[in-house]
Amino acid sequence: MPRPNRSYDAARRVFDVLFALPMLALTAPIFPLIAWLIRRESRGPAIFRQTRAGLHGKPFTVLKFRSMRMEGDPYGVSPHGHDDPRLTRIGRWLRETSLDELPQFWNVLRGDMTLIGPRPLYVSQIEEWTPRQRLRLLVRPGMTGLSQVRGRAAIPVEEKMEIDAQYVLNRSPLLDARILLATLAKVITRADIYEVRYSRAAEFRGTRSE
């Protein structure tokens, strides 16, 4: 089990607020435009809301700009390519530029999420996890994390969860800084956006996190 580090956690919270607040201020002017483009192409709300597991498994509502048509199953298979018919044209662009994640700065500001940590999964999945996989519940879920910069959608969920466990056990300011820089590179190059294979197993009862 990782040892609690209150000074590190407090510093991270301050950094989260100091980063998320100006990012929201800078990007808020384009929110109405993005919302209009989403609604113009397909019916339904511009913001996608879904319950996920937060710190210690506490449920919270994660926010994203909607990238799929309302007919698509939000708990179904993640898109495997840009030609997935469930994706709208604006939704495809939002995913590939990672702009669909912008509303999560509000989750960070509220304290539901942090900038760096394991991506939030579903509450219903927790009972299926091993004790090591449940280490991810000891920290707030993040907008980006170690598994995102080490493969993102290109690696199966079992590998993501092992990488997330390694992060929880080894997190530090230096590691966080490296993840932030690597995330910027991923966003610029638009790498590993679409899922290749969700699980190594032939069948897996879990559901998608993205």
Tokens 């091993």 -> residue: 130
Phi and psi at residue 143, in whole multiples of 5°?
A: -70, -35
Among 127, 9, 85, smallest CA distance to 76 is for 85
Mean pLDDT, the chain, whole residue set: 88
Asked whether residue 161 carries a pLDDT value surpassing 90, the answer given is yes
Task: Return the SS3 of 61.
Answer: strand
Tokens 């698509």 -> residue: 72
Q: Which residue has the higher pLDDT, 190 or 160?
A: 160
Q: Which residue has the higher pLDDT, 70 or 24?
A: 24
Q: Which residue has the higher pLDDT, 3 or 185?
A: 185
What number is the average pLDDT over the span 152-157?
81
Torsional sign, CA 144, 146, 152, 157: negative
Counting beta carbons within 10 angstroms of the beta carbon of residue 94, is it exposed (0 to 12), middle (13 to 18) or buried (19 or more)? buried
Q: What is the pLDDT of residue 189?
A: 83
Q: What is the pLDDT of residue 181?
A: 95
Q: Where are the domains of the chain?
A: 6-189
What number is the average pLDDT over the span 150-177?
91
Q: What is the pLDDT of residue 208?
A: 44
What number is the average pLDDT over the span 112-128?
94
Asked whether residue 41 carries a pLDDT value surpassing 50, the answer given is yes
* Cα(68)–Cα(74) distance, integer angstroms: 8
Task: Return the SS3 of 150.
Answer: coil
Task: Tell me how far apart the terminal alpha carbons of the chain are, to the nearest angstrom.
Answer: 27
Our measurement of the distance from residue 190's CA atom to the centroid of its chain's CA atoms, rounded to an integer in Å, reads 15
Task: Return the SS3 of 63.
Answer: strand
Q: What is the pLDDT of residues 42-100, one digit of tens each?
A: 999 999 999 999 999 999 999 999 999 887 666 667 776 777 888 899 999 999 999 99
Name the strand (E) or helix (H) holding 14: helix 6-27
Q: Which residue has the higher pLDDT, 22 or 194?
A: 22
